[in-house]
Amino acid sequence: MLDIKFVRENPEAVKENIRKKYQDAKLPMVDEVIAKDEEARKAQVEADSLRSERNTISKQIGGLMKEGRKDEAAALKAQVAAGAERLEELNKIQEEAAEIVKKDMMAIPQMISPDVPIGKDDSENVELKRFGDPVVPDFEIPYHTQIMESFDGIDLDAAGRVAGNGFYYLKGDIARLHSSVLSYARDFMIGKGFTYCIPPFMIRKAVVDGVMSFSEMDAMMYKIEGEDLYLIGTSEHSMIGSFIDQIIPEKKLPETLTSYSPCFRKEKGAHGIEERGVYRIHQFEKQEMIVVCKPEESMDWYEKLWRFTVDLFRSMDIPVRQLACCSGDLADLKVISCDVEAWSPRQKKYFEVGSCSNLGDAQARRLRIRVQGDDGNKYLAHTLNNTVVASPRMLIALLENNLQADGSVLIPKTLQPYMGGQTVLVPNKK
């Protein structure tokens, strides 16, 4: 959410930012915000004047009553009563205007970085860098669920009977590999100096409103019926939410946290064959990284965070690339964002395995997360988040890139300690 003062002083810049995000339907909101904000401020000035006048008259009434000048006192009382009616009107004007301003300001997108490429949707995202050489083996690679089934490692039928589509049972070596990836990702981030956390897996509406836009919430979040609680779509939500209404001493920054959680998502919309299996699902597990920092440090942290994900994947010999998210693919609270995509030798293309975002002060403004400097002045923090690893998407990349012609899968050296020293998975089904 933008600063109302910034919108007042830079309406054309705000409108141009909206156009860059291809959200022209929101353009009238800028003028409405400015008009309603002015209306509320004028009402405030008049209300303050009336209150001051009321205080002065009240003192006069007391003096007149003491002097026995009851008729004059009664006239002033009538004046106060009339002023009280007008105050009620002004309070209503302020409340109604403030509600409209808040609604519009929650919908107007954050100002994007000049480094964000302009484009309508994710088809216009821009490749920035590649890391590692993508390889296509000279043998056919099965679909990822078929690879898992060869190890008796997945049961989608049982999951369908128990929970429906979009769920899975992982078993045996595949389940162990899944857990090993998450454990390795945890230790990888601890080695980078991050504090490991396990957060609440449900959050209140006030936190949801603070960390994401309404459109994102509607597309992602599961609501707990009869409760002011939502299942988290990512641990970023509850981790950033932990700072709600907090004043953080500047000396404590940056806060660098890495959190594990299950994630729950509606995943609305039609999905093609490549998004079936365990690629796009309603429940998965993820290791996340979160940073709360000073504004002048946020872009440096942005560069560090996405590189951590690249380093993690490369430590398992998985080729990846960085993809800049274009303006139309950028969520409303984000200043800049990029995806990390892993190479799929089966598809002969890259697919998304993580996303890194700098949200500037958008979440901090909504959640009232402030920093107190040594000089006593307070200012809004900046927040960032990035996927360390989302499993089982990581499993797809790992299995495909380490599959051998005989159907076995090599276990990367970095994961072997988490697999009890095991170096290879041998299929038990043909």
What are 246-261's pLDDT values in tens digits?
Answer: 999 999 999 999 999 9
Checking if the pLDDT of 71 tops 70, the result is: no
Residue 314, CB-side half-sphere exposure with 13 Å CA sphere: 14
Mean pLDDT for the stretch of residues 256-284: 80
For 152-214, give the DSSP string.
T-EEHHHHHHHT-TT--EE-HHHHHHHHHHHHHHHHHHHTTTPEEE---SEE-HHHHHHHS-H
274 pLDDT band, cuts 50/70/90, is low
Q: Where does the pLDDT of residue 392 fall: very low under 50, low under 70, confident under 90, or very high at 90 and above?
A: confident
Per-residue pLDDT for 369 more than 90?
Answer: yes
In this structure, of 37-46, 252-261, 398-407, 416-425, the range with the lowest mean pLDDT score is: 37-46
| Residues 364 and 383: beta-carbon distance below 8 Å | yes
For 338, the token pair is 């990029």
- Sequence-distant (≥ 6) Cβ neighbours of residue 347 within 8 angstroms: 274
Question: Average of pLDDT values for 421-425?
Answer: 97
> What are the E-state strand segments in 229-278?
230-231, 247-249, 255-264
Average pLDDT of span 330-350? 97
Mean pLDDT of all residues belonging to the chain: 92
Domains and CATH numbers, the chain: 4-107 (1.10.287.40), 122-425 (3.30.930.10)
Residue 407's DSSP bridge partners are: none
With cut-offs at 50, 70 and 90, classify the pLDDT of residue 73: low
The C-alpha atoms of residue 37 and residue 45 are separated, in whole angstroms, by 12
Indicate whether 271 pLDDT > 70.
no
Write the CB contacts of 233 (distance below 8 Å, at least 6 apart in sequence): 220, 221, 263, 264, 265
**Residue 222 C-beta-side C-alpha neighbours within 13 Å:** 14
Percentage of residues in the chain with pLDDT exceeding 70? Answer: 93
pLDDT for 268 equals: 61
- How many Cβ atoms sit within 10 Å of the Cβ of residue 333? 23
The pLDDT, as a whole number, for residue 259 is 98
When pLDDT is averaged across residues 85-110 and rounded to a whole number, the result is 92
| pLDDT score, position 213 | 82
At residue 277, the pLDDT reads 79
- In tens, the pLDDT along 302-320 reads 999 999 999 999 999 999 9
